Each structure stands twice: as C-alpha cells, then as structure tokens.
Amino acid sequence: MMKIRTFLALLLLAVGLLAHADVSPGDGMPAFALTDQTGKLRSSDEFKGKWLVLYFYPKADTPGCTEEACSFRDDIVLLRALGAEVVGVSTDDVAAIREFGRKHELPFTLLADPDGKTAQKYGALVNLGVLKFAKRHSFLIDPDGRIVKRYKDVDTKDYAKTILVDLRALSKKS
C-alpha cells in the first residue's frame, strides 16, 4: 500500500510540474484580470499601447524577490522614459503584495494571482498540489501585445539593467 501511495504522490508531483501552458516570443500576451496592491482589478488590456515588463516572482519579501523588485524600482525612471511599464505578479494574496510594495516603496503595479492561473498561462507556475508559486520568469511585451523576449535565468541584482539594454535595442528597431 505504501508503494502505491508513493507512486501516486510522485505522479501528482510530476503532472503538477509538467502541466502548464507555455508562451514564447512572437506569441500574443495571454489575457489576465488580477487585483493589484490597492485592491483594484487590473486587466492586461490596460497595458497595451506601451512596452510592458511583466515579471513573475515566487514570494513577496524574500531576499531574491526583494532584490529583483528593488532593481526595477531603482531603474523605473529609465524604463518609463523608454515607454515601459513594470508589473510584478506572484501567487501571494493582496495583503502580502500591498505590504511588500509599501515596505520597499515600489512605484509600479503588483498583482495577486493566488490561484496561480495567470502564472500557469505564462508557463511560470510551479504546482506541487497543495503548494503553488510563481517561477522567476519575465516577459518583455511590445505595445501591440506581443511577447518579444522571455527571461528564465535572472540575476536579481542587475535584472532591470538587462531589460533596459534589450528595450533600448528593440526601441531603435521600432
């Protein structure tokens, strides 16, 4: 009986890790409607017409997520000068992202995705059954709503600088 339970648990784990959507450069941005840190419902349609840095992060106020968010905070003026908005998404609840944004004075939108459905649409969800969290994946989305770049390996400390280099190069082509 123990072997069957172990097998079933491993099978559920494997299915949770493998069953996800995946988006790539050239694809349209999957739609979302999520609540932000102020309690307002925000839609993906609001961000069309400008560059969008949509980044998924595992857990508010953990060291890597804080370093990543503060990287965007510190370069937000440069990102906005290039016509980009930054939006962070995690599976945390609204209260957690509200406190995270307040504590670190984050001047951009944070979205709560507690059921992980949006992260799953983007292929950025780890689903272990009872535990779900976002992978540290990000997307650079053009003003037409097309994914231009996907980032899976992120140096949280200098992450915004990487986005800025790519955004400058892509802006010159437009």
The set of catalytic residues is 65
Among residues 163, 106, 117, the alpha carbon closest in space to that of 139 is found at 163
SS3 132: strand
DSSP H helix total and E strand total for the chain: 6, 9
Give phi and psi for 170, each to the nearest 5: -70, -35
SS3 52: strand
Helical H segments across 19-143, by residue range = 63-74, 76-81, 94-103, 117-121
139, containing H or E segment: strand 138-141
What distance in Å separates the CA atoms of residue 68 and residue 138, rounded to the nearest whole number? 11
What distance in Å separates the CA atoms of residue 104 and residue 86, rounded to the nearest whole number? 15
Residue with tokens 């491993």: 10
